A and B are shown apart, each in its own frame.
Chain A
Amino acid sequence: MSSETKQILTTDGIPLEISLKKAERKNKIKAFLLVAPLLLFLIITYIFPIGEMFTRSIDDKMITNMLPKTFKSMETWDGKELPSEDVFASFLSDFKILVEKKEHGKLAQRLNKEKNGFNTITKKLFRQVKRNKIDETQSIKEQIMKVHKRWRNVEYWQAIKRTAPPYTSAKYLKAMDMYLNEDNKITQVSEDRRIHRILWLRTVEVAFFVTVFCFLMGYPIAHLLATLPMKYSNLLMICVLLPFWTSLLVRTASWMILLQQQGVVNDFFVMIGLVADDNRPEMMYNKVGTYVAMTQILLPFMVLPLYSVMKTISPSLMRAGKSLGGTPFVAFWKVYFPLTIPGIGAGCLLVFILAIGYYITPALVGGASGTLISNQIAYHMKTTLDWSFASAMGLMLLGGVLVIYWLYNKLVGVDNIKLG
């Protein structure tokens, strides 16, 4: 049978199937070449640097490179009693190189982070080395141990050994207010120093409540906009779109004016007799300010997706619901509301993701109790210059956002995000 069916050929004699495949491949390459410039640009300037944040956050090579011989000879040391002469000798030779390169200060700093007290004893050792007091023909172990009593303490040598791996999870643990103790166990820092966990919780809390407020305020007006006749809804839409297009800082500034103690909102409260003139409540530089300002700023991101979904729902569905005997509430709850779920999902996702990475508004109106994790990241980037710690916190935040995004994609589908 098959030998009888002739292969279909194109005019130039190539089998049609091959020719089509060729054309298909050509089209694929063409389409890809169009995307390639932007893709390459983003990969180089954006995706790679995010990856670099990861290597930076776990990188601990500095000390591994500083004490190569020490760590080599420490490999055979069981870590229970003081290390052998061999370890001391290689430590001294590493240390001498560092002194020549004037890098012993960095070493002391890093070791001091691992265990308090290294600063002093490294300085003492440095002075001995500088004055050439250490005689290499005799036991180096004995001589180093004489420099300071802490060099005789095995805990300090254990601390050095702990810094040997080129990678560390310390920054991530620090962001969760934990650290690795002497026995390599994850421990919590003392109670008065647990600041990061509060910030994480507060960030999630603020993002969650801002999303809830945005939903509660955005749903009714999106519904109104979608059901009003075009000429009214277009006018009211300006109320949503004008803030959307207005600078974030302008809107934050106006909230700062409104919420200050002599501000319009307080004036209004005094006027209607809600509060006494001499007892005006503090509404800025605390959580109230953060909530109010962030809700107003993010509200358009809730209203727009809701509106675009509600616009597609035919009003006859509600009428059908009512005509089948449902009260308006039942008709709304059983017919209308389920149809708006994609819009709710898109709006909540947008608002939550934007809120969780918020930085400018909390920094301006939030005061001390309104700062979020993003403020902490910016602080470490710009003030303490602990970039690896900032990277670690940033990646944890990114991880959280990606999990939410993934969940959303599973539940609702990303295709529902619309802009205006």
Chain B
Amino acid sequence: MALPKYTETRYRIWHYFYIAICTFVFIFLIAPLFVIFPLSFNAEEFLVFSEGMKNLDPDAFSLRWYKDMVYGTKNPWGLAAKNSFIIAIFATLGSVILGTVAALGLSSRHMPFKGIIMATLISPMIVPLIISGVAIFFFMAKAGLAATHTGIVLAHIILGTPFVVITVTATLSGFDHSVTRAAASLGSNPVNTFMKVTLPLILPGVISGGLFAFVTSFDEVVVVLFLAGLENTTIPIQMWTGLREQLSPTILAVATCLIVLSTLILISAELLRRRSERLRGINR
């Protein structure tokens, strides 16, 4: 972004002002995540930087809250983490399967009523979560699935499929359909064609949709607050209760773990995106 030498002073000033604004916004976006890191190693119980921490005194840091998170007697994090992972994995599987199959149908040029069906399929993404929460709760209560894992998994499938539908249809938009016809002409049945030809080609889209679905389920708190009983507590629910009642440093330890997890997810999503862009480039 170097400026040419002939730039007038006022544009020069404007340019530095613009860079300053951008720097501020980037700090605003990313800095909050970094406050959590050091504080989660705090030796004391307060959520402020102690004098010792400011002087980088090694005694002021400890793994106390991480130990509390894992071994703490009254801490529900173990159960919550187990539930969260189970629910998120099944919800992701469900969303990916239903969403991918639907996306295949949607991107066929023979699909009737495409507009209205697409709108219905992605509606859970557009409708405010609180309303989805109320509606899904009514259904689950009637079906006797409130406060069960099955109910929460189904709810998260509802919320997760729009992401899969969108990413997979986007991937399929650059898909060359002559390869499936080639497979068919070589005697492959549709299922075999899908598994051997289509799926490997759209896999980046499917996985990135799956990542969206996983994060949606893993993070989801509004709907799950309506549905969950004591047995189905998840990490977001525990964080929510913790943040409402007492802000203990254990929460920060959990939050740090979650940031690490989201960094991993971000890296895999980025790699997938680049791969899929490359693939689409080849198809063109």
> What are the interface flags for A295-338 relative to B under an 8 Å C-beta threshold, 1 for contact and 0 otherwise?
01001100000000000000000000000000010000000000
Question: Is B266 engaged at the interface, CB distance under 8 Å to the other chain?
Answer: yes
Task: Count how many chain B residues have C-beta atoms less than 8 Å from C-beta atoms of the other chain.
Answer: 84
Q: A241-B270, A245-B269 are in contact. Are A35 and B29 (CB under 8 A)?
A: no
Contacts of A401 in B (CB 8 A): 126-128
B127 lies within 8 A of A38 (CB): no
Least CB distance from A202 to B in Å reads 15
Contacts of A260 in B (CB 8 A): 47-48
* Of B18, B30, B112, B126, the contact of A239 (CB 8 Å cutoff): B30
> What are the interface flags for A4-48 relative to B under an 8 Å C-beta threshold, 1 for contact and 0 otherwise?
000000000000000000001001101111111111011111111
Determine the distance from Cα of A377 to Cα of B225 in the docked complex, in whole angstroms.
13
B236 lies within 8 A of A249 (CB): yes
A390 lies within 8 A of B134 (CB): yes
Least CB distance from A256 to B in Å reads 6
Determine the distance from Cα of A244 to Cα of B212 in the docked complex, in whole angstroms.
11
Question: Is B68 engaged at the interface, CB distance under 8 Å to the other chain?
Answer: no
Least CB distance from B59 to A in Å reads 21
A253 lies within 8 A of B128 (CB): no
Determine the distance from Cα of A395 to Cα of B26 in the docked complex, in whole angstroms.
37
* Most A-side CB within 10 Å, residue of B110, B139, B265: B110
Question: Is A156 engaged at the interface, CB distance under 8 Å to the other chain?
Answer: no
Question: Is A353 engaged at the interface, CB distance under 8 Å to the other chain?
Answer: yes
Q: A27-B108, A28-B112, A45-B158 are in contact. Are A53 and B28 (CB under 8 A)?
A: no
B126 lies within 8 A of A364 (CB): no
A41 lies within 8 A of B110 (CB): no
Question: Is A367 engaged at the interface, CB distance under 8 Å to the other chain?
Answer: no
Contacts of A27 in B (CB 8 A): 108, 110
Determine the distance from Cα of A364 to Cα of B247 in the docked complex, in whole angstroms.
11
Least CB distance from B18 to A in Å reads 6
Determine the distance from Cα of A255 to Cα of B31 in the docked complex, in whole angstroms.
10
Contacts of B32 in A (CB 8 A): 243, 251, 254-255, 258, 296
Determine the distance from Cα of A38 to Cα of B106 in the docked complex, in whole angstroms.
11
Least CB distance from A31 to B in Å reads 4
Task: Count how many chain A residues have C-beta atoms less than 8 Å from C-beta atoms of the other chain.
Answer: 89
Determine the distance from Cα of A301 to Cα of B18 in the docked complex, in whole angstroms.
21
Contacts of A218 in B (CB 8 A): 25
Within 8 A of A (CB), among B212-258: 212, 215, 218-219, 221-222, 225-226, 236, 239-240, 243-244, 247, 251-252, 255, 258
Which of A114-122, A139-147, A171-179, A220-228 interfaces with chain B? A220-228
Determine the distance from Cα of A415 to Cα of B62 in the docked complex, in whole angstroms.
51
Which of A84-92, A191-199, A340-348, A354-362 interfaces with chain B? A354-362
B33 lies within 8 A of A243 (CB): yes
Least CB distance from B164 to A in Å reads 9
B120 lies within 8 A of A42 (CB): yes
Contacts of B204 in A (CB 8 A): none
Least CB distance from A7 to B in Å reads 25
Within 8 A of A (CB), among B31-72: 32-33, 35-36, 39, 47-49
Contacts of B49 in A (CB 8 A): 264, 267
Least CB distance from B137 to A in Å reads 7
Question: Is B92 engaged at the interface, CB distance under 8 Å to the other chain?
Answer: no
A34 lies within 8 A of B104 (CB): yes
Within 8 A of B (CB), among A167-190: none
CB closest chain-A residue, reference B164: A38
Question: Is A290 engaged at the interface, CB distance under 8 Å to the other chain?
Answer: no
Contacts of B112 in A (CB 8 A): 28, 31-32
* Most B-side CB within 10 Å, residue of A32, A250, A267, A394: A250
Q: A34-B101, A243-B29, A364-B243 are in contact. Are A258 and B35 (CB under 8 A)?
A: yes
Determine the distance from Cα of A92 to Cα of B72 in the docked complex, in whole angstroms.
63
Contacts of B1 in A (CB 8 A): 224, 227-228
Within 8 A of A (CB), among B103-117: 104-106, 108, 110-112, 117
Q: A242-B263, A246-B262, A356-B128 are in contact. Are A38 and B110 (CB under 8 A)?
A: no
Question: Is A391 engaged at the interface, CB distance under 8 Å to the other chain?
Answer: yes
> What are the interface flags for A246-287 relative to B under an 8 Å C-beta threshold, 1 for contact and 0 otherwise?
111111111111101011100100000000000000000000
Question: Is A381 engaged at the interface, CB distance under 8 Å to the other chain?
Answer: yes
CB closest chain-B residue, reference A418: B170
Question: Is A420 engaged at the interface, CB distance under 8 Å to the other chain?
Answer: yes
CB closest chain-B residue, reference A250: B255
* Of B18, B134, B263, the contact of A394 (CB 8 Å cutoff): B134
Determine the distance from Cα of A32 to Cα of B105 in the docked complex, in whole angstroms.
6
Question: Is B280 engaged at the interface, CB distance under 8 Å to the other chain?
Answer: no
Question: Is A238 engaged at the interface, CB distance under 8 Å to the other chain?
Answer: yes
CB closest chain-A residue, reference B32: A254
Question: Is B135 engaged at the interface, CB distance under 8 Å to the other chain?
Answer: yes
Least CB distance from B179 to A in Å reads 18
Question: Is A398 engaged at the interface, CB distance under 8 Å to the other chain?
Answer: yes
A253 lies within 8 A of B243 (CB): yes
Determine the distance from Cα of A378 to Cα of B136 in the docked complex, in whole angstroms.
13
Question: Is A200 engaged at the interface, CB distance under 8 Å to the other chain?
Answer: no
Selected A-B contacts with CB under 8 Å, 10 pairs: A27-B110, A37-B102, A39-B117, A50-B131, A50-B135, A221-B26, A241-B266, A249-B219, A253-B36, A394-B134
Interface residues in chain A, defined as those with a beta carbon under 8 Å from any beta carbon in chain B? 24, 27-28, 30-39, 41-50, 52-53, 56, 217-218, 220-221, 224, 227-228, 236, 238-258, 260, 262-264, 267, 296, 299-300, 328, 353-354, 356-357, 359-360, 363-364, 374, 377-378, 381-382, 387, 390-391, 394-395, 397-398, 401, 405, 418-420
Interface residues in chain B, defined as those with a beta carbon under 8 Å from any beta carbon in chain A? 1, 11, 18, 21-22, 25-26, 28-30, 32-33, 35-36, 39, 47-49, 98-99, 101-102, 104-106, 108, 110-112, 117, 120-121, 123-124, 126-139, 154-155, 157-158, 161, 163, 165-167, 170, 212, 215, 218-219, 221-222, 225-226, 236, 239-240, 243-244, 247, 251-252, 255, 258-259, 262-263, 265-266, 269-270, 273
Give 12 A-B pairs besides A249-B221, A401-B128 with Cβ atoms closer than 8 angstroms.
Answer: A27-B108, A34-B108, A45-B154, A46-B136, A245-B266, A250-B259, A256-B243, A257-B35, A257-B36, A258-B32, A258-B35, A381-B137
Top 5 nearest A-B pairs (CB, nearest first) are A357-B128, A34-B105, A35-B105, A27-B110, A49-B135
